[in-house]
Structure 1
Amino acid sequence: MQASAPHHGSRGRALPLLLVAAAPDVPLEWLEELDDPRFSYHLAHTGHEALRDLYRYQPDLLLLGLHVRDPGPWEVLQRVREMTEDLRVMVTARRFDRADALRALDAGADDVLWRDMPEGLAKAVVMARLRRATPVSPPEQLLEDACLRLDLAAREVTMSGHYVPLTPLEFDLLHVFAGNPGQVLSPEQLLRLAWRGRSGGDAHKVKYAVLRLRRGLERATGHKAPIETVRGVGYRYVLPGPHPA
């Protein structure tokens, strides 16, 4: 069975579009429930494909399987919620697990479905959510200023034309800083905005994460990182001017 061809343009398509992120070994019998004249769907097999297609097709609802990999479902869910709070996300699992369900809802999912639900029930829930879905404006894919460029889909950073290798946490920290230029952010705010469910975060560790981020930027560009310490309060991203070549 093949997924229905997606209709491009969230506001212009005739049918609601469901983006399904499912591992390649998901039984096709379950996906056959998604064949319906009232909506179309597009299938992605990896977390990377799901994030890419979120930009490409602007779906009305994301159905995210807990067995998706590269990256896994928790990172996909975190990155989706960093981009938008409006998109409805339904997490699916092979069978009900209370711990996974609570974790998914706490991480930003709107619903949890499992594939051994009584026949037709999962599809009925999907239809109910699609009726409530409103067109979502596509999230900004690029964040740029005079010398910084963050590609949010590819998770890549360049500064002054130099590629900057960063860890996932360092990327998320820089995203928060660059998205709030000139604003002083406390360690507690950075924990809430950048860690987003990661374990092991505390205000003391923010200091060292910011230090590593600064060093990574300076090592790649040869210029001072545009992140200031505001003593006793937190940190601030200062919009950088273009550096000379």
Structure 2
Amino acid sequence: MPSRPLLLIAAPDGLHPALARLAAGPQYRTVVVHSGEKVLRALYEYRPDGLVLSLRLPGLDPWEVLSRVRDMSDLPIAVVDLTYRVADAARALEAGADDYLTAELPDRLHLPLLRARLRRAAGTPPGPAPLVEDGLLTLDLGTHEAVLAGHPLDLTPIEFDLLLAFARHPGQVLSADRLLRTVWDVPAGSDASRVKYAVLRLRRKIARATGAPAPIETVRGVGYRYPPAGGSARRPGQD
């Protein structure tokens, strides 16, 4: 039986009750640190499967911690704070956090939502096939390796699952609500900004890797579309 995934919880002394329950629960093994500097040391020492990062963390600025962690790792990151601030949510998601949660949520929702956000730490779920290929894109579900037009893509788990959702529905317009259910495993009507910023990061990474715009179209007011291979969108690597 595989071992339980290891979560690194970075928060001030006196954990919020939801984080305390997460740390004490049976689903994960946890390491708790109380400063930004200790987050970086713990990454090397413990090699965690996921990170819960409080924006109230003392020591090294949490935003700097988020940037450094994302630069060195693709592990799932949930940023948490006491109150919801639109600017902070946008900043966290654009910087590479997989989600932004606050203490303003009803208490009974905290633990289920944290578990849902970090479910990728439990390992790769079984899929219908080890590879998804369309002649342009290849996604390996076992290794989470992605190659587009011969160019390897360095993707986080969320970005990989987002691209997988597009690849499994070529030509279809996928709404933010549908992507929230499919990729983030949260109910429709949740904060759709996480979809916007994840798509933005995915497009940027594809453009950097291939030297061409990403084959992900925005259908204004509806959602996003991945054209079938050979479709109307310009293929990365082609002039």
Instruction: Report the TM-score when normalising by structure 2.
Output: 0.48
Instruction: Report the TM-score when normalising by structure 1.
Output: 0.46
